[in-house]
């Protein structure tokens, strides 16, 4: 993204494909889903991915990502 490009409050940039999309969920709904899938992840450690990129990840990839966060000690007890 160049300095001329700005992301609006109702948009996000996918961390995988780098495309900009309009948000389909509130930040609170997205946070709730992330917590359900991976457990607690601090806001500053999160990345946002679009549905297409998310759906291309295998269930094993998703489990591995969650385990990686736990192994890093990011997931509080």
> What is the CA angle 37-40-45, rounded to 5?
100
Q: Is 90 exceeded by the pLDDT of residue 18?
A: yes
Q: Is 90 exceeded by the pLDDT of residue 3?
A: no
Higher pLDDT pick, 19 / 4 = 19
Stretch 29-38: mean pLDDT, rounded? 81
**pLDDT score for 69:** 61
Dihedral angle computed from the Cα positions of residues 35, 39, 43 and 45, in that order, rounded to the nearest 10 degrees: -140
Q: Is 60 exceeded by the pLDDT of residue 56?
A: yes
Q: Is 80 exceeded by the pLDDT of residue 17?
A: yes
């Amino acid at each position: 993204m160049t300095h001329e490009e700005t992301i609006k409050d109702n948009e996000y940039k996918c961390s995988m494909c780098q495309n900009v999309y309009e948000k389909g969920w509130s930040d609170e709904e997205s946070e709730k889903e992330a917590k359900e899938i991976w457990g607690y992840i601090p806001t500053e450690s999160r990345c946002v991915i679009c549905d297409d990129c998310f759906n291309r990840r295998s269930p094993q990839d998703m489990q591995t990502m969650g385990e990686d966060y736990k192994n890093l000690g990011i997931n509080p007890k």
